[in-house]
A and B are shown apart, each in its own frame.
Chain A
Amino acid sequence: MSSGHETPDEGGTRASEAPAPTRRTAPRPGPPPEWPPAAGDATPPPGPGGDGDRGVTRGRFLKLSFAAAAGAVAAALGALTLPPLIAPAFRRQSPDWVALGRAGAPTPGRAGLPPTGAVARATFTRDVADAYLPRAPQTTTVFVADLGDGRYEVFDARCTHLGCPLVWDQAAREFHCHCHGAVFDEFGEVVSGPAPRALDRYATRMKDGVLYVGGLEGA
């Protein structure tokens, strides 16, 4: 494949043996015996502009310069493209506080909270931002437990194992996950099954007899 009558020399000039423009294919020089150098051979091939004493030829200098420039460009592109892609891992939303219910009897337009000692399923709706979409209402399901003395616990209704929805078993006073059989007691603690931790809770705040929920804690 190689006609072999041209010998590449590192950084040398070959103006005298320019191929004629009408040749069908320019010669493809094969690897000369000194290139690549054998393992451990640090002596570069001599050539014009080369610095044989210190092992840096002009060609090697150009190679390293090109490698450095390419590395700098790659680093710049990486520094530019990584932040947009990894930003979601660091984005934290602090959701608005929203009223969940009024203690005591239900009032028009507002559900009541469960009576003392009871656990009840409840929902609340708040506007949630989703990237470029307009803020839209999103309904969340929770379990509200009345601990007495006006204290309430608001549990996330998803299993801490893999996020399946939980069901409240009134008779057994337990939360059951039907995906993989996790069981939580009425205080959200793990009874059995694969759940790694107690139920996640929402931040709560009582104001004028109305229970407000904020962001999800734990998780």
Chain B
Amino acid sequence: MTKYFMNVWSAFPDWSQVLLLNLGMIILILVPLMLSVAYLTYAERKIIGYMQVRIGPNRVGPKGWLQPIADAVKLLLKEIIVPTKASRFLFVFAPILAFVPALAAWAVIPFTDTLWLSNIDAGLLFVLALTSMGVYGVIIAGWASNSKYAFLGSLRSAAQIVAYEIAMGFALVGVLMAAGSLNLREIVLAQSGGVHQWYIWPLFPLFLVYLISGVAETNRAPFDVAEGESEIVAGFHVEYSGMTFAIFFLAEYANMILISALCAIMFLGGWLSPLDGILPAKLLAWPVLGTLLGNGMHWLLLKISFILFCFLWFRATFPRYRYDQIMRLGWKVFIPVTLVWIGVMGAVMFLTPWGFIFH
């Protein structure tokens, strides 16, 4: 039986074998990702519910576990309304444009030491380039809707994303200075040797800037003036309904997961266990405990989940920023902080004997 399948497989030409293998791996990444996006919406409602002393969704399925499925079916069955005089093609294209970069960036994320879709040299730049393209979905949605509210929302969002992207990029410059590489896998490996080697400690200001900019980049509360229900009804996606709206929603959550994964990889040691290099090799050879305490994908998932929890926590805790305060924070606080820290890092690394702090 296996032999038969092998024969069928080798009958394909070489290039199609590569194509099929890659497609299979992409599906292996995307299906769990889409499921986690769906259940992140459920987790958000539950966690914020408990934080506000409510129960959250608890009607559909046991403890409300089928709520995301019910939401998806509901949105799928709704009519997609295109406003009059809207640019029809761009109106439908915008949600796709918002969603695709959030998925495409997963191509370079390393899950373990040996597990990734592609291990390219400029991985960090690739991620930055793709996340910077997410803003087009918002801008085009606002413009194509032919609505003043949507337009205002997209202008706000575009200005905000451009402002925070600079701080985010500078925060990552610190990481690549410390790691000496743009390759995500090598950045993680440079942090091996236990929890005290993670970049969160020497680069703590950059970590904070990155995390907060990440919240602002994804237009999440408290930086969600692009939606601003009380001022511009729902901002850029006010005219969207049904599946087109659902895709904007999915894009926001997929972006959150992506930012959390990047944060885990850059500052929290990716798949590395916090006890890596501290535990003796004998303990790691134990059957179950050794696998759990050793390096592995479960650590990456744990770190991503923790940062996602922080995202939800922020939303439940902070009131929305005023627009001019958002801009002030981005341009006048974060960018100078990152620039100063990069200068300090460079000076310490090359002029003083304490450069090992950052390595």
Q: Do A and B come from one complex?
A: no
Q: Spell out B's residues near A (CB within 8 Å).
A: none
